[in-house]
Structure formats: C-alpha cells, structure tokens
C-alpha cells in the first residue's frame, strides 16, 4: 500500500506510508464516496464503491456557520473565504439532510488534514453525536429543526493546527455514504490563547488583544540614550497571509503530525523565516549593497514579503534583524500564538558562545579592528512567544525567546529558541533551546584587551554593565516602550544576580575573572540628540580618583558603523591632552562637523567614537555610539473614518538637506486599511517638497495606523505614521 | 581588512572578518616573514616587510620529535606523515638555531589553525619560554644542547582540535623574524581521554584502549532471542582517515572556534555522517533497491566510505543504521573521543515522539497495515560517547547517546544527541539534546488498537515490555556482547522505574493510560533457530486463566519484513481453532515450509508472524520475529604473523542452496593488516565452492582481525572473520 514520493522512495522499508509534510497541496480523493464496511482480512479484494439504496438518508447541505463562529473565535478579521476557528473551543456546523432524522439513523463528521490521514496521529478525526464512541474531538447536537441539525464540535486543545477537510458520513447497513469533497467546507484550526487547556493560553484579555489580535506594532531601534521607533504592519489578517504561514510549514517539510505542538512550530518557524539551510522566507544582508533586492529599511511590514515568498517560492531579498522579527511576529500571531517583538540594546554577538566579548586594542591604546572578532550590536530584535513548557521543570513557562535572524552559533543551524525568559533570568541554562546563547546576548562582559608587540593579549578593563543595557517591547494598547529588562535580569550586583551568574558558570558559560587593579582614572562620553547633517559635540569627562594630578594623552577615533557594531568607514582621528588634578573631574568638548562625517556615511546613520587615554601606567577608554536622527514624512488623513467608506491620505516631505535625494522610493500601507502602495521619485532637490495622495477603503474597524517609508540611495530610514480610528 | 568570500559578502556589516570554517584548505600566507612591531594607530600605512640585520639569530631546523611524542600520546598507529598529539599533555619540539642562545635572545612558538587566526579565539596561540607572558599554552625549555633546544609545550585541555601550523618567531629590536611556512611541521591536536582536565577524560585504561584505540569491533544485529554479530573495521588509524574526519568538519562549515568543544563536535558529527540537510557522508536507503550504489550489507568497514567521501566530495551510497554507527564510531575515535556502537533490540520508531507505538488491527483481528504508521525496528544502532556535560546539572556526564542515522523527528534536523544515558534512565528529559527521543526508543509502550467499521480506534492491549528489550555493546577486550540495558532502564516494575516513568510524563512524554480489563486469555509464540532455506516450526501456546473453557478462533499471518519492522511481502494466512480448558495451556505447532517463504524474501532475511485469536468477547494477539540464519565464509590465515612480513588469507565458501547465487561481490579488509580488497563472481552454482587468496603485509602489531563479506543479489549478509595476533 506504500505510495512513495520522489524524495522518499529510498525509505520504502522504513515507513508504512510516507510521513505527510504538506497541508495545502494534498490529493482530493480522501475516501470513496461510498465505503463498504471492511470487516475481513481480504477486504482489499472486495469492490469498494457501491451504490447506496434509494431510500436512505442523504446530506443536502453543510453550513460552516461563519457568522456565528467567527466572532466567538475572534477570527472575524481574517480576510479569507473559509471558516477559521481556534482549537479547544466549540464551533457550530449546520447539516441539512434529505429528511428529518429517525432514531435508527446514524452519521458522523470527519475532519482530515494532510495526506494519508491517520486516526492514531490526529490527522483524521471522527466526530460522533450519539452513544457510539468517536475520536478525540467531542460532538453534540445543539438543535434540531426538521431535517436540519446544528452540531457543536469541540476540537481538542492539542489538535493539529492547519487546514482541515470536512466530510459528513451517513452510516448505512453496508457501509458509509459520504459527502463529496467540498473546498468551501475546509476549515482552518488555530492555536487558542483564550483556552486554558491550550499550550498557548494567555489569561489576560488586554494582552490577548495585543499579542494575538493587534495587526500593527512598533519596533524599537537606536540606542538606549536615543531610542527610535519603527512602525511595522504585521498584517496577519490580510488576504493570503494565513495560507502563507501554512505554506511556510509545508515548505519546511514539517510533519503534519507535529503541527499541534507549539514548541515545535515556533522552533521550526525560527528556522524558516530566514533563508539559510532551508530556502526560508528572507535573505539576510548586512552589506550596504541591496541592489539585488530591496533594502531592509524599505519595508513597511510583513505582508508584501510573505506574499512574495508564497507567489515565487524563492527567498525574498533582503532583511535585517527587525525585518526577521517583524515577519516572524506575523507568522506567530496569524497561527494564534501570542507573540511580541523585543529589542535588546547593546546586544553581544560572540562567536564562541562564552560570556566574554573581546575588544582588542593596539599597544598605543587605539582600537585594533583587525584583531577584534566579537561585536556588540547597537540593538538586536527577536521575538517572544507565550506558552507552557511541559518539556521543562515547573516555573519555566510563560514568555520564551525565539529568534529568526540567522545566528550561526545557535546549535549549528540558523534558528534559535524557544528559550525560557525565566530560565535566562535564573541562569538555568541547562534546558533546551539555546538559552545559553540568549543569556550571552544580554549578559556578556566586555573585555578590553591590549595586544602587545608579540601578539599576546592582556586584559586591562572589564565592563560588566554595557551589554544588554535595556530590553524593550511595545506596551499593551499603546506605542510607548515597555522596559522588560527585569524579566531577563536581576538588578546588577544583587544577591540574585550573583546567583544567576554563578549558575550560568556552572553550566559552562565561561566568564572573565581577570584580576585588575582598581583604576583611579576613568573617562565617560556623552552627547545630546544629533540631527543628520548637523555638527555634533562630544562631552568627554575625565575623572581622577587618585591623590596625584594626572596628565592624560588622549585620542579620539570616529567611525561610521553598521548597527551590528562593525566599522563601515573610519573618518576621524584627533589627539589631545588634558591634565586632571587629584580627586577632580576635567571636561573636554570635542566638536565633529557635518562635513567631517557626511561623505563617509553611505547609507548608515550611526557614528561610533572611542576615546582612549594614557597617563603614566594607566589606560582609560570609553565608547559612544550616536544615532543620527532623520527627518520624518508627514501623513494627513481625510474622509469619513468608517468601514467601507472611501478615505484619503497625503504623504508630504520637504528635503531639508543641501544635496538632492536620489531614487526616492516611497511605500505605504495600513493593515485593515489598504495594502502596500508605492511611489517613485528619481530625485528630490534641496528644499524641494513632494506630496503624494492615495485613496483607500477601510476593511476593519477600530484604532488603525498607516505607515509610510521613504528609502533613497543616499538617505534611508525616513518614515511617518498616521493614526485613525475607524467606526464599524 | 575584511576578506569576504563568495558566500559571506552580504555579511560585510556583520563580521569584522569572515568566521573561519575550514581547517584543511587555508591560505599559506599567515604572516609576513618579518613583522615590524606595530605600536601605532597608523601602522596600516607603514611597510610591513623589513629585512632583518645580518647578525641576528636564525632558526635552522624545527623537529617535531615524532619518535618521542607519538608513543607518549598513544598516536603511533596513525598512518600519517605529521605529528599527532593529544591536548592537555606536553609534547616536545626541538628547535635548532644558528648559534647558542644568549640571555638577551628572545623567541616564541606560534600555533595557528584556520583562516584569520585570533589569539582571543584560541586559533592563534603564542607560546613563550621565559618570564614574558604568552598565550594559554604553557612552554618550558627542557634541555639545551649548544644551539639546539628541546622545548616542552602543553596545549590547554580545552584547545581547538584539528591541524595546526607551527612557526618559530625570533624577537629582534624592530620586529619578529619568523620561520617560513613548512607543512612538515604541521601538527594534529586531538581530544585526550588520558587527560583528567579534558572533557572526554576516561579514567579506566582498558576502556581507553577499547573505546579510543581499538580499530575494529563487532556490531550486534538480529533480535533478542537470536543475536547475530557483524564485524566492522573502524580503521581510524588508516591512511587518510584523520584528514577525512577534519574534512567532514570543514564540509559542515563548523566554525574553527568551536572545534575544541566535544559536545558541539559530536553533535555536528551526528548531523554530518548522514547526507540529509548538509551533503554529509552517507545516503540512507531502506528500499531494497541498491542499484545506484552499494548495498548497506556489502561494506566491511568505514575506511572505504570515508575515503570515497573525501575524494569525491559527494555523499556515499548506501547506509543503514549499523553503517551510520560504524562510520560515526570511526570519526569519534579518530578525533580521540571515547566511543562505542550500541544496539537497541526492539527499538520504537514513533512519528510523533510520544511514548505510544500504535499497532492497528482490523475488526476481525488481523493487522491493519494500511492504517499503522508506527514501527518497531528489530534492532537499531547508535553510538555512545564518553564526556563530561558542563552544560547540564551534576551527575549527567559519562556516556551520552549520539545517533547519526537520519531520524526525522529529532528536532527537525537529521541528527541526534548528545543525550545523557543517565538522564534517560532517570527520566530527566528536560535537558539537551534529544533525550526524549532516545527515551521513547527504549521505553515506548506498544498499544494494540482495534479499528472499528466507522474508523474509530479502541485499544485492546498494551505491552509495556516489548520495546527496548535489551541494549548491547561489545565488551571491552573481547567480542562477546555486554548487556547495558541497566544503564538505560531500572528493572521493569521497580520503584525507580515508576519514578522515571512519571518524571518522563511530567516532561511531556505522553503515555497510554487505557483502562483495560484483565485478560484471562493470552497467547505466546516461540521458535528455535531457523536456517535460511529450511522449514520452521512456530510453537503457539494459548493460556486460559479463567474458569470457563474457551474456544479460540485464531489466525496466523506471515510476512517478510525489513529490519525496520515494515512489511516487504505478505506470504501466509492460516486459520485454525483451539479449545483451551479452564486454567489450562494448549499448544499448537504451526509449520512453515521453505517453499512458502523463499520466493518472497527478496534480499530480506526476516520473517514476521502474528497470531490473533477471538474467543467470545476476548481478543488475543502475539508477534514473533524470526531472523533466518545464513551460512558463513571461512577465512584461513597463513604466514609469519609479524609486522612487515608477508602473510596470506584464503576465503572459501560452498553454496549450500539449491539455487545459484548471482552477482556475488566479496570484500575483505583488516585494519592495520590490509586495505579493502574485492572479488566478483557472476554466479556460484548450487553446491559449488569458491576459494579466494590474497597476500598482505601487517602494518600494526597486536591482536587483529580480518573480516570478509559476500553480497549477492539473492543473498545478503554472508560474512566471516579470522583473528590473528601480529608480533612487533
């Protein structure tokens, strides 16, 4: 009976049937329309199709009761023809027969998913409505109106998630008489954050509305001192997105049998959102050359990316961390898993997975970029999902880190998590998956090493607070950041913090234990907000806590960096000296003009300054990262804010710079309002203005957002938003 | 300074240098031969090559002292030009200078691995021999003889494993004067089971000699009642094998930085020994059609497979579980990791990873092969490695399961482990890697389900003892099996066993809790040894523990199966009845003739019988798997058993069957004795004999084994061995 497919015929002797891995593309001939009862050993030889006798019961209609089910299951927003429901909660089906039922009549419903559906694997579920026992989903007759029955069906809270085929089978004396295959009765079954028995149950209603139902959001970027916001359209309810999410699981060849397991689904998702290993959704690119695709900064949301992936079957170019996190968030919320995007500021990226980020300096104290391998990202975005962890000891459920940005050190494949946030906070790094890796991202020590003339390294400073300075996510119901650093870490220096650190070390996370003499001299750098195209001042404070006056021979090095901390261009070196009396502080203000940095920016907007100083036998150093602020787009909305009424939005912008903006590509969208629109300007001259109007017809009500992005060859990261509340 | 390679240039903004992933193919220009001291910020602009002045010290010769180092490091057996040593243990290098050293002279040794070596990552190690501080490896001058120095160098016990390049650098006033790149001073560094600080330390010397140094072994097959042996040549010391193992890590693109971590190396190895995902070593094939490669049964050992993989860069066709385990064992022992091959008899293979293996039966009690998805392998082979587990809580080090047979349920990729054997025994399934999967292989319950006419399943029997009946490995120093079932499981029914089961369930391993009424009727099947081509008798015992006489209507079904439990051909159905008085046993002997099964065998040798019976409301069933025994090859050795003396071996065989053996392919090898030789006979007629003689010259002394295999289209699994002790 084996039906080997192309890839699996060397496995004939391993599987009785190929393991089904596709949900969307399965053959249509599940059953014979009439299935003779199969009681004997030789049934294979018996003819299987058999005409039913004329007097028997016949099914006239099957109604999936969308108007009733959708609001009950919080699935009205999905722009899709078929019923979408959440598991563990009853939904209704109205079946109309050819005549009223009599006590001798018997029938059952059958729900099938994937090829070769099997009752022992939950991919073929028989639902009965009388005393006769059925499968694991329960059924009851709620109402009888003549020949029409309203049936209540409750899938188990651990049912397979995906697209099921629905059949009604009438029991006759000799066999089962089934309805024909009817795609309009196909039904999507999702994870259910409202169901206490579901692994993704989230008790708080406001949180469910945010983390499952909110189809737009804000992702934080920049640095701790200068946090910026990027609006992102998740769009999980837009047309084609639910099928796209199932397509992703199909493309991953994840067995249908495993798709009810939230842990396996999110782990697989973290692998599939990036293209490495598996031709997943998005190609990572940190090169500054995006000519073979679209710049990561040019996307307004996930919808266009996911639809392009489904339509072409080819990974989409290009993403960086917030794009991976945004698309992954759509995938998760669309399937019903509570999810949010997280930003970790000063995120360590270590190649060996220990707790040391090594920054190497030359004998004269300047950065040795050639020998430095580790980097600290200005920020890094990942996702959290909310779920129980039955595979771990008690107390480690709740929020879990998953990360789809391709990170080569995560267990050798490009995926990460789910890693329990509580386990990270407690230093319990002995559990799956990848908790040690995430722990290092928020807890690494920064080791400043001096490389001597012979190539030997000696540590001269350890900064235990720089990495993981703050962990942010969007607040429930608003757009302000919620600081959740305390979810990941105990306060620096607390007893609990020490306990976590020593536990992490027990589990093999190598820490630095260099014995460094107490430094009497220190330096810090600060700066105000810095606008792109304007001069900036660095305030450098030298502190002398010793009893001798010190003369510091200092050096300022300025570079343009990627947000990953890697140097793009070096543009400035400046020597200076300062004498600091005993127990005093001495301030130096160092000016950098726009002229100095502008020509070195490329498309980056991030400046990196290092001050190093030598005073007798003492070395000091400090680092300051400055994100240059860009101008905004202005969005103006007009018209009656009501579902199905035409409205208008105008995007306007004036070039404030003294140079023209070239190849300006604008994109705009709003989940539930309009799909992606784009506009192109070959150049926007200095001081010139543009104005772009689009009309749209809102599909969904409630508070909604439009987001627009402008991406030029010589200026990225210009965006704007407009909020509007649509009435029903 | 970034040197992007083809695959990584979209990562320019992520890495200061590409992460090195290749050990064997790196550029030769590590250093300028003269490196000017680099003290300043602008050093990039300074010329780097500079002629040394004529009077200075020069290195004349670097001797890696193979004759002394190899015996000390237990690496004499490696058939390789270069020095091979184990980490954490001192090795000697003799450096001869142009003149005796004076107190002002200074020099250092430098060991480099991979591209872009970095002192902070352990891939560039500076070793100093005076008061000046160096890198992490310690150095001392052991002996000075004029201009010649014997240096002792001790790599750290966690050093990177692989092939290092060696340089000697003399310190001059203005810079470092280095030796030229010299491939003959390249040095292989291995894991060290003899070093207490190494993660793979194994205290017992006899075990180290078996699990690291023994280059041949025995793999157990068949079934618990009829265990068979297959000799396997690991050949980890044969020419080209050490480079092949490093090539595998290179092909996996495993970062050089991670190659000192035993956990990461064995996990990566488990992924790379199979070809899925990563174009690894071996293609799995359970189809019975091996025409596109070599049959899994035709290999004599790992050497030919590994050399073919390295030479072609393409996965080798074909393997089944014992081939994967044999090749993986070679990889592990070759790199110095203590390893052994394990056989688990009646190994569960479940598609959903729970603890239920569902066998489905039709309403009349016969097996429903169409609806049964799970299978129980007659046996399954994996490997164990011995190592500490710093990433886990205390007590979980020691033997760890790793499995390179492609198993699709292991975390979505084709790899498995390391999973702590102790954690499996204790049910502590909350730790990495894949312990739940291995737990199910040895602990699944077999659920017998009846599928009713409506498609609904009802359990009627649960067998909690069938799976994981015995776990065997070769005993240290012998060829008899060592039963290590107790390492994996507490005795069935003990208090500890219950504790393990309930822990496993807490960690999400779903068990069966069907409430089944106590069966009063039971059936068992037994059989003696069965030779291929002869009739066999099944002894079927029906036991009635009730107070009523029962008449059982019974059915015997006979099939040929793959060793994976999957049916190849069904050949027999027989109905019979038996009346069993109250509290009595009734025996039925059922004969199966050779004629009945021979034409259905194909190349399988495994018969599967199911007896099912119905008596009133009671169902009984029993399963018996019979491995048909094949004839053996006879190996006769002659000549003086001494290293470098010619010897002879004769392989002889007589066809005992009434049919000709077609396309007989013979292969023979012996690690340390001779490499693989093959011979082909187009046919061996009934009762005809063959005799094949080969000469060989032993390379290594000690007790050694020759193994020969014969593989025909219509008869597989014929083999023979000869043991010989070679004197030095």
Q: What is the pLDDT of residues A439-471, one digit of tens each?
A: 999 999 888 888 888 888 988 888 888 899 999
Q: Across chain A, what does the average pLDDT equal?
A: 90
How, if at all, do strands B138-145 and B148-154 pair? antiparallel
Q: Sheet holding B585-592: strands in order across?
A: B521-526, B536-544, B585-592
Handedness of CA B668, B674, B676, B677 (dihedral sign): negative
Of B121, B454, B564, the CB nearest to A373: B121
Q: Which residues of A touch B119 (CB under 8 A)?
A: 371, 451, 455-457
C-beta atoms of A318 and B10 within 8 A: yes
Assign A443 to helix, strand or coil.
Answer: helix
Q: Which residue has the higher pLDDT, A604 or A513?
A: A604
Q: Which residues of B touch A118 (CB under 8 A)?
A: 371, 373
Q: Which residues of B touch A506 (CB under 8 A)?
A: 390
C-beta atoms of B10 and A287 within 8 A: yes
Alpha carbon distance B114, B122 (integer Å): 11
C-beta atoms of B288 and A176 within 8 A: no
Is residue B500 within 8 Å of residue B527, measured between CB atoms? no
Alpha carbon distance B640, B642 (integer Å): 6
DSSP string, A158-197: TPPPEEEEEEEEEE-SSEEEEPPP-GGG-EEEE--TT-TT
Percent of chain A at pLDDT exceeding 70 = 94
Most B CBs within 10 A among A40, A257, A373, A611, hence the mutation to make, goes to A373
What is the block-wise mean pLDDT of chain B (728 residues), using blocks of 10 residues?
Answer: 41 72 77 74 42 70 97 98 98 96 93 91 93 88 95 97 96 91 96 98 98 97 88 98 97 92 95 86 90 94 97 95 97 98 91 78 81 87 97 96 77 77 96 90 90 88 89 95 97 94 87 78 91 94 93 93 89 94 95 94 89 86 90 96 97 94 96 96 96 97 96 90 96
Could you give the C-alpha distances from B249 to B20, B266, B389, in angstroms and in order? 12, 10, 21
Q: Who contacts B340 (Cβ-Cβ below 8 Å, separation ≥6)?
A: B210, B211, B217, B329, B383, B384, B473, B474
Q: Is B321 among the residues known to form the active site?
A: yes
- What is the DSSP secondary structure assignment for residue A213, as one 8-state letter? I
Tell me the backbone φ, ψ of residue A688, rounded to 5 degrees.
-75, 155
Instruction: Quote the pLDDT of residue B116.
Output: 86
Q: Which residues of B touch A267 (CB under 8 A)?
A: 411-412
Instruction: Quote the pLDDT of residue A275.
Output: 87
Is residue A301 within 8 Å of residue A234, measured between CB atoms? yes
pLDDT at A693 over 50: yes
Instruction: Quote the pLDDT of residue B55.
Output: 59
Which of A6-15, A333-342, A648-657, B556-565 shows the lowest per-residue confidence on average (mean pLDDT)? A6-15
Question: What is the arithmetic mean of pLDDT over A96-103?
Answer: 93
Question: What is the arithmetic mean of pLDDT over A327-346?
Answer: 98
Is residue B386 within 8 Å of residue B399, measured between CB atoms? yes
The angle formed by the CA atoms of residues B305, B309 and B315, to the nearest 5 degrees, is 95
Provide the shortest C-alpha distance from residue A125 to chain B (in Å): 9
Rg (C-alpha) for chain B, rounded Å, is 30
C-beta atoms of B288 and A13 within 8 A: yes
Confidence of residue A353 (pLDDT cuts 50, 70, 90): low
Q: Which residues of A touch B351 (CB under 8 A)?
A: 19, 121, 255, 257
Q: Is B685 among the residues known to form the active site?
A: no
Q: Which residues of B touch A513 (CB under 8 A)?
A: none
Chain B residue with minimum CA distance to A414 = B413
Provide the shortest C-alpha distance from residue A9 to chain B (in Å): 7
Alpha carbon distance A275, A404 (integer Å): 10
pLDDT at A41 over 60: no
C-beta atoms of A455 and B366 within 8 A: no
Catalytic pick among B245, B321, B509, B530: B321
pLDDT at A142 over 70: yes
**Nearest in space to B591 (alpha carbons), one of B530, B501, B682, B504:** B530
How, if at all, do strands B175-178 and B162-171 pair? antiparallel
Confidence of residue A122 (pLDDT cuts 50, 70, 90): very high
Tell me the backbone φ, ψ of residue B513, rounded to 5 degrees.
-130, 35
C-beta atoms of B1 and A369 within 8 A: yes
Cis peptide before B318 (omega within 30 of 0): yes
C-beta atoms of B287 and A369 within 8 A: no
Which of A13-17, A277-281, B410-414 shows the lowest per-residue confidence on average (mean pLDDT)? B410-414
Tell me the backbone φ, ψ of residue A120, rounded to 5 degrees.
-80, -10
Write out the two tokens for A228: 């910026």
Most A CBs within 10 A among B412, B419, B614, hence the mutation to make, goes to B412
Chain B residue with minimum CA distance to A368 = B41
Is residue A490 within 8 Å of residue A425, measured between CB atoms? yes
Catalytic pick among A198, A215, A250, A403: A403
Write out the two tokens for A711: 């991406």
* Beta bridge pairs of residue B705: B723
Which of A506-520, A546-560, B376-390 shows the lowest per-residue confidence on average (mean pLDDT)? A506-520
Rg (C-alpha) for chain A, rounded Å, is 30
The angle formed by the CA atoms of residues B407, B566 and A33, to the nearest 5 degrees, is 105
Most A CBs within 10 A among B6, B7, B10, hence the mutation to make, goes to B10
Question: What is the arithmetic mean of pLDDT over A616-630?
Answer: 88
Most A CBs within 10 A among B454, B573, B604, hence the mutation to make, goes to B454
Alpha carbon distance B393, A499 (integer Å): 15
Handedness of CA B157, B159, B163, B164 (dihedral sign): negative
Chain A residue with minimum CA distance to B4 = A287
Is residue B231 within 8 Å of residue B218, measured between CB atoms? yes
Write out the two tokens for B497: 């066993």
Alpha carbon distance B349, B372 (integer Å): 12
C-beta atoms of B1 and A564 within 8 A: no
C-beta atoms of A11 and B287 within 8 A: yes
Assign A233 to helix, strand or coil.
Answer: strand
Alpha carbon distance A559, A575 (integer Å): 15
**Nearest in space to B554 (alpha carbons), one of B620, B623, B626, B625:** B620
Chain A residue with minimum CA distance to B453 = A37
Provide the shortest C-alpha distance from residue B641 to chain A (in Å): 44
Alpha carbon distance A168, A151 (integer Å): 12
Alpha carbon distance B601, B39 (integer Å): 77
Alpha carbon distance A29, B112 (integer Å): 62
Write out the two tokens for A253: 């060849």
C-beta atoms of B408 and A19 within 8 A: yes
Is residue B546 within 8 Å of residue B578, measured between CB atoms? no
Q: Which residues of B touch A15 (CB under 8 A)?
A: 373, 375, 566
Instruction: Quote the pLDDT of residue A408.
Output: 57
**What ranges make up the beta strands (E) of A403-484?**
419-420, 445-451, 457-463, 470-474, 481-483
Provide the shortest C-alpha distance from residue B711 to chain A (in Å): 19
C-beta atoms of B351 and A19 within 8 A: yes
How, if at all, do strands A445-451 and A356-361 pair? parallel
Most A CBs within 10 A among B455, B512, B561, B613, hence the mutation to make, goes to B455
Instruction: Quote the pLDDT of residue B278.
Output: 79
Of A133, A371, A562, the CB nearest to B456: A133
C-beta atoms of B288 and A457 within 8 A: no
Provide the shortest C-alpha distance from residue B44 to chain A (in Å): 10
């Amino acid at each position: 009976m084996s039906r080997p497919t192309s890839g699996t015929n060397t496995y004939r002797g391993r599987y009785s049937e190929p393991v089904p891995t596709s949900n969307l593309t399965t053959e249509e001939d599940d059953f014979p329309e009439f299935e003779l009862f199969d009681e004997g050993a030789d049934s294979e030889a018996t003819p299987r199709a058999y005409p039913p006798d004329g007097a028997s019961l016949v099914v006239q209609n099957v109604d999936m009761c969308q108007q009733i089910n959708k609001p009950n299951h919080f699935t009205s927003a999905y722009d899709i023809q078929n019923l979408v429901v959440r598991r563990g909660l009853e939904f209704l089906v109205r079946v109309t027969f050819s005549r009223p039922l009599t006590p001798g009549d018997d029938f059952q419903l059958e729900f099938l998913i994937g090829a070769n559906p099997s009752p022992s694997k939950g991919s073929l579920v028989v639902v009965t409505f009388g005393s006769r026992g059925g499968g694991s989903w329960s059924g009851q007759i709620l109402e009888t109106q003549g020949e029409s029955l309203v049936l209540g069906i409750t899938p188990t809270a651990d049912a397979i998630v995906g697209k099921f085929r629905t059949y009604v089978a009438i029991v006759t004396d000799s066999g089962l008489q089934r309805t024909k295959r009817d795609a309009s009765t196909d039904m999507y079954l999702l994870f259910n954050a409202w169901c206490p028995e579901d692994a993704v149950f989230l008790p708080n209603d406001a949180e469910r509305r945010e983390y499952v139902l909110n189809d737009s959001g804000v992702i934080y970027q920049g640095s701790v001192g200068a946090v910026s916001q990027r609006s992102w359209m998740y769009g999980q309810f837009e047309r084609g997105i639910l099928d796209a999410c199932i397509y992703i699981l199909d493309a991953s060849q994840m067995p249908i049998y495993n798709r009810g397991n939230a842990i396996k689904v999110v782990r697989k998702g973290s692998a599939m959102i990036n293209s490495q290993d598996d031709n997943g959704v998005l190609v990572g690119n940190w090169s500054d050359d995006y000519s073979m695709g679209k710049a990561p900064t040019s996307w307004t949301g996930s919808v266009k990316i996911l639809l392009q992936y489904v339509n072409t079957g080819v990974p989409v170019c290009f993403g960086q961390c917030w794009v991976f996190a945004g698309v992954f968030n759509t995938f998760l919320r669309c399937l019903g898993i509570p999810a949010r995007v997280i930003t970790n500021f000063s995120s360590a990226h270590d190649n060996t997975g220990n707790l040391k980020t090594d920054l190497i300096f030359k004998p004269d104290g300047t950065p040795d970029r050639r020998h430095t391998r580790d980097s600290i990202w200005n920020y890094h975005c990942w996702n959290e999902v909310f779920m129980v962890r039955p595979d771990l000891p008690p107390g480690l459920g709740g929020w879990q880190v998953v990360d789809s940005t391709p990170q080569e050190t995560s267990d050798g494949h490009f995926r990460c998590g789910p890693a329990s946030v509580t386990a990270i906070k407690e230093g319990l790094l002995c559990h799956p998956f990848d908790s040690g890796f995430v722990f290092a991202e928020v807890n690494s020590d920064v080791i400043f090493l001096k490389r001597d003339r012979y190539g030997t390294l000696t540590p001269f400073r350890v900064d235990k607070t720089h990495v993981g300075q703050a962990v942010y996510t969007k607040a429930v119901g608003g757009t302000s950041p919620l600081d959740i650093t305390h979810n990941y870490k105990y306060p620096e220096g607390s007893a609990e913090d020490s306990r976590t650190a020593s536990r992490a070390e027990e589990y093999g996370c190598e820490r630095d234990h260099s014995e460094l003499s107490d430094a009497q001299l220190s330096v810090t750098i600060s700066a105000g907000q810095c606008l792109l195209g304007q001069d900036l001042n660095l305030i450098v404070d030298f502190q002398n806590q010793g009893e001798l006056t010190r003369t510091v021979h200092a050096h300022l090095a300025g570079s343009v960096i990627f947000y990953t901390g890697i140097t793009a261009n070096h543009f400035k070196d400046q020597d200076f000296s300062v004498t600091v009396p005993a127990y005093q502080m001495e301030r130096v203000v160092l000016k950098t003009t726009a002229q100095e940095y502008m020509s070195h920016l490329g498309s980056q907007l991030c400046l990196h300054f290092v001050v190093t100083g030598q005073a007798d036998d003492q070395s000091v150093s400090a680092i300051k990262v400055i994100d240059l602020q860009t101008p905004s787009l202005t969005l103006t909305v007009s018209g009656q804010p009501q579902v199905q009424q035409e409205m208008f939005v105008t995007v306007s912008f004036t070039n404030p710079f003294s140079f023209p903006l070239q190849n300006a590509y604008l994109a705009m969208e709003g989940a539930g309002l309009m799909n992606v629109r784009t506009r192109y300007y070959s150049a926007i001259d200095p001081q010139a203005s543009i104005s772009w109007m689009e009309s749209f017809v809102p599909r969904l009500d409630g508070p909604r957002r439009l987001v627009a992005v402008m991406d030029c060859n010589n200026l990225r990261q210009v965006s704007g938003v407009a909020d509007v509340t649509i009435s029903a």
